[in-house]
Structure 1
Amino acid sequence: MTDGNPARDAERDAIIAALVPVVDGIAATFGPVCEVVLHDYRQPEKSVVAVAGDLTGRSVGGAMSEIGLRMLARGDEAADELNYLTRTKGGQQLKSSTMVLRDSTGAVFGALCVNVDVTAVQQAQALLAAIGGGGAAEAPTTTTFGNDIDSVVEAIVDAHQLRRGRTWVQLDRAQRLELFRGLDEHGVFAVRRAIEQVAARLGISRASAYSYLSQTRAATGTPPGPAADSASTGGDA
């Protein structure tokens, strides 16, 4: 997705092209424990334009992760996130950094992400802490990485429900609105067809999903995004 400004899109394309060899260079420097991914946020469903290393199983043309969706939701207010810990579904512990890409106007349009597998380091630290009587380190958050944006969206929805320990029918209205607020903050609704996906995952109508999203954004003063612009309203489901 472009913003309709050919000169700005050309500038962004040039920045992306200049960073492609950097991706390979960083990965080669750190070796097999490192993965570097270059994202173009103009295409959320296939944002990966370059990748070197293989820690998360992604390839060119793959979708952004839930971290990327969160960045996308913040728009130009997004900032670099450095040295945070995540865990893949396969159990690998990653030390990661996400550095946003901006054009000459300051607009965010992509990100350069570096993941380093620190599983062995974390295991060694845990062993030393146990021997020395130290406290256990805080467990990293499990993050969904994948080439399919649908699986990422579904994982975020499921994670939000699991944190509440209740199914949709067990939530009251305030909790349902809170669920939609959390999904919106994670950038879920910036993805095409996400509203339909969320509705299907929760077992509610698309009209109800639109209604909850619109109510959530109205309550928080958030400007209507793409999903809400085409919304039709409906009753609770």
Structure 2
Amino acid sequence: METADAILDALKGLVPGLAATFGRSCEVVLHDHRLGDRSVVAVAGEVTGRHVGGATSEIGLRMLARGDAAEPELNYVTRTESGRVIKSSTLPLRDGEGRVFGALCVNLDVTALRQAGDLLADLAGLAPATIPATTFTDDFDEVVDAVVRAEELALAKPVDSLQRRERLRLLKALDERGVFAVRGAAPRIAARLGISRASLYTDLAECRRG
């Protein structure tokens, strides 16, 4: 039966070759979710600028939220904060018992292709499609802030001014987005909300009961 460590060791040797196959516009990132907020264990390519010891993205959090029911997410398109357009596929990794423990991600920088497509769409009188933004960074705090900011926009008020009923809705949304599946995320969220860890754990337990 293959262990998680054996699978990761095998894939680490493949990561540079996979990236080189697609050239300079490709990046391959290997994640070990057991490491919490520093899940990147191998990376080849420079598309998102992450390094070994870096963090997962909102997409990775979404996969974490699904646990062992996670499925591959293929050929989705996102936009970085710098405006680069990335086409990606994220493949969950399972050990010999079927438990998801990590992910292999392939990112292709398709900015130039997207710009050409937008030009053709403009000539044809078509509106370009909106591309969602994703936070690719080595710093997990930046990923947490991006997720919280998205919920702030939905609530139309800062999270540190929420009433408890509103805070419960926020925590439920964050939980569904996989934030609390990362070890060490809870204290960061508590600080962001201006509440104690004990209060956060109490509220989170109530959300999950509901």
How does the TM-score come out when normalised to structure 2? 0.92
What does residue 181 of structure 1 align with? 172
Once the two structures are TM-superposed, the CA of residue 48 in structure 1 deviates from its matched residue by: 0.9
Q: What secondary structure is seen at the aligned counterpart in 2 of 1:101?
A: strand
Once the two structures are TM-superposed, the CA of residue 124 in structure 1 deviates from its matched residue by: 1.1
What 5-or-longer segments of structure 2 have no aligned partner?
none
After the TM superposition, which of the residue ranges 114-123 and 63-72 deviates more from structure 2? 63-72
What does residue 26 of structure 1 align with? 18
Change (3 A) 1:193 1:38: closer
For residues 100 and 69 of structure 1, the distance between their equivalents in structure 2, rounded to whole angstroms, comes to 12
How does the TM-score come out when normalised to structure 1? 0.82
Q: Partner amino acid for 1:131?
A: L
Q: What secondary structure is seen at the aligned counterpart in 2 of 1:39?
A: strand
For residues 49 and 83 of structure 1, the distance between their equivalents in structure 2, rounded to whole angstroms, comes to 23
Once the two structures are TM-superposed, the CA of residue 172 in structure 1 deviates from its matched residue by: 5.0
Deviations 1:4-57 (A, max 9, x none): xxx76xx21111111123211121111111110011111122211110001111
Q: What secondary structure is seen at the aligned counterpart in 1 of 2:87?
A: strand
What does residue 109 of structure 1 align with? 101
- Is 1:166 the counterpart of 2:157? The answer is yes
For residues 192 and 15 of structure 1, the distance between their equivalents in structure 2, rounded to whole angstroms, comes to 22
What does residue 193 of structure 2 align with? 202
Change (3 A) 1:104 1:193: closer
Once the two structures are TM-superposed, the CA of residue 90 in structure 1 deviates from its matched residue by: 1.2
What does residue 41 of structure 2 align with? 49
Once the two structures are TM-superposed, the CA of residue 169 in structure 1 deviates from its matched residue by: 6.0
Q: How many residues align?
A: 210
For residues 141 and 174 of structure 1, the distance between their equivalents in structure 2, rounded to whole angstroms, comes to 29
For residues 198 and 74 of structure 2, the distance between their equivalents in structure 1, rounded to whole angstroms, comes to 39
Alignment of 1:74-223 (within 5 A): 74-137=66-129, 139-168=130-159, 171=162, 173-219=164-210
What 5-or-longer segments of structure 1 have no aligned partner?
1-6, 220-237
